[in-house]
Structure 1
Amino acid sequence: MPEIPGTREELENAARFLRDRMLSLAKDLEPGQHPDITMLPEPAILDWREPLRHAYKATLRLVAREQPSATHAVRYGGDLLTARGWSVENDTSPAEIRAVARRDGFVITLYAVHQEQGVSQYGDGYGIGGETPHVLLHEPVAFVPPEPVVTTESLPAGALLCYECDGLGWCPGCLGRGFTLNDDRRRQRCNLCFTRRLCPICEGAGLKWIHAMNHWDRTQYPELRPD
């Protein structure tokens, strides 16, 4: 699909902004460290809600040396972002210590690394993650349901339309897309074809040959049931 003009440049500018903010925050927290920031080389789909949008995602790891502990670093980092105009939510539950900061669609998350996942033997590990705003990279294309591969008129002698897809050939659960949409329009794997896209009964043929039907197949057709 063609890209929306200017959108990729917008995403790349957002990626640079995010990178600068994350590295600046890391420098304020641990001025003696020079962490490597890992960022997706291309914008990716991070949220599979229709219409699909793209964003950049980045992470970096630090060790609590200037900070008393990873937990303190997370809280202090959240305070720094609050002072810079970000809206920050803190989660200090026993299972997870994190601060999530949002501004203009950007998200920066500070989180303490569990002891068993520590990044260094020299101190508590903590991380900074970030996402750019999610934007439309391609113009949405309306889904057009596929035409049946077999119809009553084109059905060959000795065959009947598939009792599952009625000649469609494609999975009747997802109409050949391999996914369905839940209530908030998020993509989820089709529970009928499991992303194979074809009808699971006829394997895309759209029909069943009478001579090859087993007993179960025959029970699905009233005209083939024994009296």
Structure 2
Amino acid sequence: MGGIPGAREELDRLGRALRTKLVELIDDLTPGSDLRLLFLDEPGVVDWHEPLRYQYWTSSFSGERPAHASAADIASRAAALLGSAGWEAATSQEDAGGRNRSVVTGRRDGCSIEIRVGDHGSLVYFGGRTPAMALYETEEFPWPEPARTAATVTPGYVLCYECDGLGWCPGCEGRGWVRDEARGRKNCSACHRDRVCLICRGAAQLAISELSPYQRGYYPELG
């Protein structure tokens, strides 16, 4: 799979910038937070349509706001910090289980940061994400070579009637997934991501002596 020139470098640059800004916000708004819990080390796939799109993101970091600071203070400070750093900042309100919560959103260079805080609790929630970017060129998945053929089947065996000697799942061609218009990819319903043929378990052939009456129906030449 060929990489798109410069794409990973650009995504990594944006990921580093996002992490730096989140660390600054966390240190200022919730001093003393354990930054080891800020997981933003590797990009993940967020769009499974071809070409796959990758993104750095975190949505689960939280820290304690200082006792003297109200939720409004934190929201105001967060918006000011983002704005002074060149981020487009906006503040809105959302319902959090019947209680009001402030949401400060910052956007810059395709990256976004969200900070959530309410007076009903002491936690401040931080989230952030980079743009979703394609890192690799789309490549067609090659149909695998069969594990067995009529010329190589073991004496006393027949080619598997399900995969015809392929060994891999014929439903997904051994990928473990199939294309899906809505989600890009979905798990193969035939092999459930096992990838191998569920009848022969990858052997590509079946022992004639172990065939059930039903299975023998696939081989009229056996009589």
Q: Settle same-fold status: TM greater than 0.5.
A: yes
- Give how far 1:168 is off: 1.8
Q: Kindly tell me: are residues 156 and 27 of structure 1, through their superposed partners in 2, closer, same or farther at Cα, counting changes over 3 Å?
A: closer
Structure 1 gap ranges (5+): 116-122
Q: Kindly tell me: are residues 156 and 110 of structure 1, through their superposed partners in 2, closer, same or farther at Cα, counting changes over 3 Å?
A: same
Measure the CA separation in 2 of the matches of 1:191 and 1:205: 20
Q: Kindly tell me: are residues 103 and 180 of structure 1, through their superposed partners in 2, closer, same or farther at Cα, counting changes over 3 Å?
A: farther
> For 1:1-227, what aligned pairs fall within 5 Å after superposition?
1=1, 3-26=3-26, 30=29, 33-37=31-35, 38-58=38-58, 60-65=61-66, 66-69=68-71, 84-85=87-88, 91-94=94-97, 99=103, 103-111=108-116, 124-152=122-150, 154-219=152-217, 221=218, 223=220
Aligned identity (percent) is: 34
Contact 2:74 2:117 in 1 (8 A): yes
The code of the aligned residue for 1:133 comes to P
The code of the aligned residue for 2:88 comes to G
Measure the CA separation in 2 of the matches of 1:39 and 1:187: 26
- Give how far 1:76 is off: 5.2
- Give how far 1:88 is off: 7.3
The code of the aligned residue for 1:108 comes to I
Measure the CA separation in 1 of the matches of 2:153 and 2:92: 61
Q: Kindly tell me: are residues 223 and 160 of structure 1, through their superposed partners in 2, closer, same or farther at Cα, counting changes over 3 Å?
A: same
Measure the CA separation in 2 of the matches of 1:177 and 1:95: 45
More strand by share: 2
- Give how far 1:197 is off: 0.9
Tell me the alpha carbon deviations over residues 112-160 of structure 1, each in whole angstroms, 9 at most, x when there is no partner: 59x8xxxxxxx61121011212222333322111132233455455433
Measure the CA separation in 1 of the matches of 2:116 and 2:222: 64
Measure the CA separation in 2 of the matches of 1:44 and 1:139: 16
Normalised to the residue count of structure 1, the TM-score between the two structures is 0.71
Secondary structure of 1:17's counterpart equals helix
- Give how far 1:223 is off: 1.4
Measure the CA separation in 2 of the matches of 1:34 and 1:194: 45
Q: Kindly tell me: are residues 89 and 46 of structure 1, through their superposed partners in 2, closer, same or farther at Cα, counting changes over 3 Å?
A: farther
Tell me the alpha carbon deviations over residues 85-131 of structure 1, each in whole angstroms, 9 at most, x when there is no partner: 25777642528967465554323233459x8xxxxxxx611210112
Contact 1:74 1:112 in 2 (8 A): yes
The code of the aligned residue for 1:22 comes to L
Measure the CA separation in 1 of the matches of 2:210 and 2:122: 66
Contact 1:7 1:137 in 2 (8 A): yes
Contact 1:108 1:130 in 2 (8 A): yes
Contact 2:148 2:205 in 1 (8 A): yes
Structure 2 gap ranges (5+): none
Q: Kindly tell me: are residues 91 and 169 of structure 1, through their superposed partners in 2, closer, same or farther at Cα, counting changes over 3 Å?
A: farther
The code of the aligned residue for 1:211 comes to S
Corresponding residue pairs, total: 213
Contact 2:25 2:78 in 1 (8 A): no
Measure the CA separation in 1 of the matches of 2:194 and 2:33: 42
Q: Give the root-mean-square deviation of aligned CA atoms.
A: 3.7
